[in-house]
Amino acid sequence: MRQKTVFSCSQCGCQSPKWLGKCPDCGAWNSMTEERLTAVPAQAGRTAGERAAPVPIDEVPPQAEVRLPCGIGELDRVLGGGLVPGSLVLIGGDPGIGKSTLLLQAMHHLAVAGDVLYVSGEESAAQTRLRGERLGLSGRPLLVLAENGLEEIVSRIEQVKPRAVVIDSIQTVWTRTLESAPGSVSQVRESAGRLMVLAKGSGIPIFIVGHVTKDGAIAGPRVLEHMVDTVLYFEGDRGHPYRILRAVKNRFGSTNEIGVFEMRAGGLDEVTNPSELFLSERPLDAPGSVVTASLEGSRPLLVEIQALVTPSSYGTPRRTTIGVDSNRLALLVAVLEKKAGLHLGGQDIFLNVAGGARLGEPAADLAIMLAVASSHLDRPLPQQMVVFGEVGLAGEIRAITQPELRIAEAAKLGFRDCLLPGGNVRRLDACRLQVQGVATVQEALRFLD
C-alpha cells in the first residue's frame, strides 16, 4: 500500500497535496517540504484538564496570581512581573544574540529554591557546563540534560518535577510518533503541543528557544506562536553590546514592555537606566540631532534621533531609515514641504535612532520632523531640549498620552526645556522643566537656532 505524503511550508505550515515553488499562504519561495502522513495514536493525558461543564463566568472561582521571580529584573518586567506557573514561553532571536546565555542566567537564579532543568538539544552537557563556568554560574542545583527525543524529555520532567524547564531549541526536538525529520513543520507542531499539555497539566513553566528566519520571524509553523502563552524576541546586533528583549505576545501582561541588557564577558547585565545609555555618546550642538521621549509600556525612554539631509546625486532621492517606519518619514517630509516650504524633493534623507531602539508611536513625529529640518537648514536645536508630539497632515501638532512621565524622565537626566503640543501644556500641573507648547509645524521650526 502506497503511503500518503503531503508538502508543508516550513515558514507558515501551509499544506498542499503536491509540490509548489511558492507557498500560496505566506508567499515564501522553495519552502515546501515533503512529509509522510502518519496516523498519530491517541495518547493519554492529551487534554489539559478534566472534562467540565460550562458555568456562568461569575461563578468561576477566582485564582490568586502567583509569579516566580527570575532574579533578572528586566526579564521579569517583560514577562509582566515574573514567570507564571504552567506557562509556555517562546523566545526567539538571531544566532549568537544571547538567548541561551539569558536563559542559563535565569535558571541559575531560579535554582536557588529548587531544581531546574536545562534541556540542550544543540550542545552536549559538557559544552553547557563550559558556558556556565564562563558566566560564573556554579554551586546551584541546575540540572542539564542533553537530549533530543521528546518522549525521553517528558519522562525526565515528570520524574524530576523541576521548578522550571528550558528547551533549547524546539527545532531539534523530535517525537517517535512521526517519521518526518527534526525541525519539520509536523515535528515542531507536535513537540510544542505535547510540551504545552505537560506545562498546563503539571504547573511547570517551560521556556522554548526558537530559531528565526532570515526575515527575523521565528522559524516553523505560525501555529507555534499561537500555541504558547508568551512570545519574546531578543533583538540586537552581535557587533553591538546592547540587547533589547521585547514581548510581542503575552497572555499574562503587557506587550509594550521592553528589557535592555548589555553583553559583557561575564554574561548579560541589566541596564536599569536605558535612557542614559542611549544618550551616552550624543554629539553636542550637532544639526540633525534631536532627543525625544518614547513610551515603552510603563517605561519612558529618551532616545536620540539623527537625520542627515544631503543633495541627491541620482534622479530619485533616497529615503533610508533605521528604527523608524520609512512610510512615516515620507509622510512627515511631505508635510514639511507643503506646510513649511522646505524643498526636500532633490535631497537624500537618512534617519537613524541611535542605540538600536525602535520608535513605533506617533509621539516621535515632531522630533523626526525637526531632525530633518535641522539637518537641511544646518541649524541645531537647543542642546538641553527634549521634543515630542504627533504631527497631522494639516501641519497641526496633536497632543500625546502621558506627557508627565516623559517630562519626569527628561528632568532626571538634566534636560531644562521641553517642546510639546499645546494641547498637553494646558493640562499639565506643576512641571520641573521649562515647557514650550506649539500648535503648528511653523511654530516648531522657530526653535531652530
pLDDT tens digits for range 217-229: 666 666 788 889 9
220 is in an annotated binding site: no
pLDDT of residue 53: 83
Give the Cα separation of 381 and 289 in Å (integer).
8
Note the pTM of the prediction, 2 decimals: 0.76
Share of residues in the chain with pLDDT > 70 (%): 92
pLDDT of residue 37: 66
97 is in an annotated binding site: yes
Give the Cα separation of 402 and 298 in Å (integer).
10
Give the Cα separation of 228 and 173 in Å (integer).
16
216 is in an annotated binding site: no
Q: Quick check: 45 pLDDT over 60?
A: no
99 is in an annotated binding site: yes
pLDDT tens digits for range 214-259: 666 666 666 788 889 999 998 877 667 788 898 989 999 888 788 8
What does the DSSP 8-state code read for residue 60? S
310 with 287: CB under 8 angstroms? no
Residue-wise DSSP of 201-216: HH---EEEEE-B-TTS
Give the Cα separation of 228 and 249 in Å (integer).
9
pLDDT of residue 48: 47
Q: How deeply is 20 buried, as exposed, middle or buried, from its count of CB atoms within 10 A (0-12, 13-18, 19+)?
A: middle
Q: Quick check: 40 pLDDT over 70?
A: no
Average confidence (pLDDT) over 106-126: 90
93 is in an annotated binding site: yes
Q: Residue written as cell 511654530?
A: 443
434 with 418: CB under 8 angstroms? yes
All three cell numbers of 299, joined, read: 517605561
267 is in an annotated binding site: no
95 is in an annotated binding site: yes
What per-residue string of b and e applies to 359-388 under the rule 16 or more CB within 10 Å gives b? beebbbbbbbbbbbbbbbeeebbeeebbbb
pLDDT tens digits for range 127-151: 988 888 888 887 667 899 999 999 9
pLDDT tens digits for range 412-449: 888 999 999 999 998 887 777 899 999 999 999 999 86
pLDDT of residue 46: 45
- Region class of 341: left (phi > 0), else alpha (psi between -120 and 50), else beta: left
What per-residue string of b and e applies to 409-426 under the rule 16 or more CB within 10 Å gives b? bbeeeebebbbbbbbbbe
Give the Cα separation of 72 and 232 in Å (integer).
15
239 is in an annotated binding site: no
Give the pLDDT band of residue 330 (cuts 50, 70, 90).
Answer: very high
Q: Which pairs count as long-range contacts for 145-148, CB under 8 Å and 24+ apart, including other chains? A: 145/117, 145/118, 145/119, 145/120, 146/119, 146/120, 146/121, 147/119, 147/121, 148/121, 148/172, 148/173, 148/174, 148/182
All three cell numbers of 441, joined, read: 509645524
Residue-wise DSSP of 294-323: EEETTEEEEEEEEEEEEE-SSSS--EEEES
